[in-house]
Chain A
Amino acid sequence: MIHKFEKNGVYVVLDVNSGAVHVVDEMIYTILDHYPEKGKAETITQLKEKFNENDLAEAIDEIQLLIDHEQLFSKDTYIHNLEFKNRKPVIKAMCLHIAHDCNLRCKYCFASQGDYETSDRSLMSLEVGKKALKFLVDNSGNRRNLEVDFFGGEPLMNFDVVKELVSYGRSLEPIHNKLFRFTLTTNGVLLNDEIIDYANEHMDNVVLSLDGRRDVNDFMRFTPNNKGSYDTIVPKFQKLVEKRGNKNYYVRGTFTHFNKDFAKDVLHMVDLGFKSTSVEPVVAKPEHDYALKESDLEMVFSQYDLLAEEMIKRHKTKDDFSFFHFTMDLSQGPCIVKRLSGCGAGSEYVAITPQGDIYPCHQFVGDEKFKIGSILTNEYNNHLSHEFKEAHVYNKEACKGCWAKFYCSGGCHANAYNFNNDINVPYALGCEMEKKRLESSLYIQASLMED
């Protein structure tokens, strides 16, 4: 299977199963509508009015060479890969819901402003947190790198426990030969100098929530007293990032039906000094006025186009920036097993609530049907976990014939469930946006390719 597209005179061909990417001329691009399904002679006959016959023959030979080298129309043989088929259920990543309370009341919050529709605005106790980390260590098999995201609600509402848990995690590392990588996802309201210095020293990654321009951010992200958060958080984020050096961070926003012109928000973030950006489509049921609709797609696509052009224009200048979903290392990206395994929710990745309950990921928290177990009682529903493990591209009808399957790996289970009541039926609108982002990423790399 191949996927090809043209943008601004750049012709890109992706060989889906090998991951090979070719930048071709218009003739090759046209030939691929005929060859190899039709033979060489027939293809030449059909296209000789448009292109020179000798050139066509030469171009077809080039295509055939790539086919022979399994860089075009290569076969998908991965379903039988033993590493994939026999992969063991080990948990290596954890979303730790350190606080089910929040000091903002963001309109679109999937966590219902922090409590996940549980009416229980608890903070995680140190005891539960320690048991969660120990659970991760005990269930991680021979994986050395373990990830823990301090998440909420707003994790800084329980900062003392965050600090205690980082120390506890570090104490477990030499005993069990593990390495914890901690992430803090925060809305920034409670950041101060002490917390900034702590986060920069101890957190491998920080995710800072900001939607972009002041009016866009404050329309969705406000305090319980309806006061916008932009003026409070931006100076704090700037200070954190300025002091962070080369360590990872993302300024992460959400776009909705109300800011479909989100490229301006990304560029606003860059103007504020944030080079590492991620702005993502809102996840919302169609009944919400801010939910994205199919009719929004054209505008959304135009924003990805705009961002791609800006990235090309700013490449290697002082104004360059990264956009999370356009980042793709074509030569050294993830292995095929990772690509098939997907996000790992429910099998490699779990969320732990302040009550010690285990869910497949943060998006499912609060929905009892998806409660996998409890770290306090040691219950664990292997059947449910297995269901998530098996929700991969070969078991999803919509993915089987899709060119993007080895990049999105089947998409987000929570999106699939929210829209289709089935983790095996992907969220179609999300698929369209994902494919556009992948094309944008390939287009950027093709445009920057050296002659």
Chain B
Amino acid sequence: MKHIKTLNKGTLKETASHAGCGECQTSCQSACKTSCTVGNQECENK
């Protein structure tokens, strides 16, 4: 592509088919304790 560089193709739809193992960290346990962000957590099932 000439005008678009894709930084990431987007995997959310793919994750939907094998999602929800629940082994990942709870967001509030990592460092925040006040301002919830989930997008910065890591997947344990990658």
Contact = CB atoms under 8 A, between A and B. Distances in A.
A185 B28 CA distance: 12
Given A324-B40, A333-B40, A363 B19 contact: no
B25 to A, nearest CB: 6
A434 B35 contact: yes
B42 A332 contact: yes
Given A252-B31, A333-B39, A22 B5 contact: yes
A349 B29 contact: yes
Contact of A335 (B20, B29, B31): B20
B26 to A, nearest CB: 4
B36 to A, nearest CB: 4
A95 interface: yes
B41 A333 contact: yes
Most buried by A among B6, B9, B37: B37
B8 A145 contact: no
**Size category of the binding interface on chain A:** 35 or more
How would you classify the secondary structure of chain B's contact residues: helix, strand, loop or mixed?
Answer: loop
A389 interface: no
A368 interface: no
B34 A283 contact: yes
A327 B39 CA distance: 9
How would you classify the secondary structure of chain A's contact residues: helix, strand, loop or mixed?
Answer: mixed
A21 B7 CA distance: 5
Contacts of B15: 334-337
Contact of A18 (B2, B12, B26, B27): B12
Nearest to A60: B3
Contacts of A339: 12, 38-39
Contact of A93 (B16, B20, B29): B29
A319 B11 CA distance: 32
Given A19-B12, A280-B34, A334-B38, A71 B23 contact: no
Given A343-B36, A344-B26, A338 B31 contact: no
A28 B3 contact: yes
Interface string A61-77: 01101100011001001
Interface stretch (A165-173, A195-203, A213-221, A407-415): A407-415
B22 A143 contact: yes
A338 B32 contact: no
A183 B5 CA distance: 40
Contacts of A18: 9-13
A190 interface: no
Contact of A331 (B11, B26, B29): B11
Nearest to A251: B31
A342 B7 contact: no
Given A207-B33, A342-B38, A344-B27, 14 more contacts: A17-B13, A18-B13, A22-B4, A23-B5, A81-B19, A92-B26, A254-B34, A333-B39, A338-B43, A343-B27, A348-B22, A434-B37, A438-B39, A445-B7
28 contacts: A15-B10, A18-B9, A20-B10, A21-B8, A22-B4, A59-B2, A62-B4, A83-B16, A87-B20, A93-B25, A207-B31, A207-B33, A278-B32, A280-B35, A281-B35, A282-B34, A338-B38, A344-B27, A344-B28, A348-B26, A349-B26, A362-B33, A363-B34, A407-B38, A409-B27, A410-B36, A433-B35, A442-B7
CB-CB nearest 4 A-B residue pairs: A20-B10, A18-B10, A407-B39, A337-B20
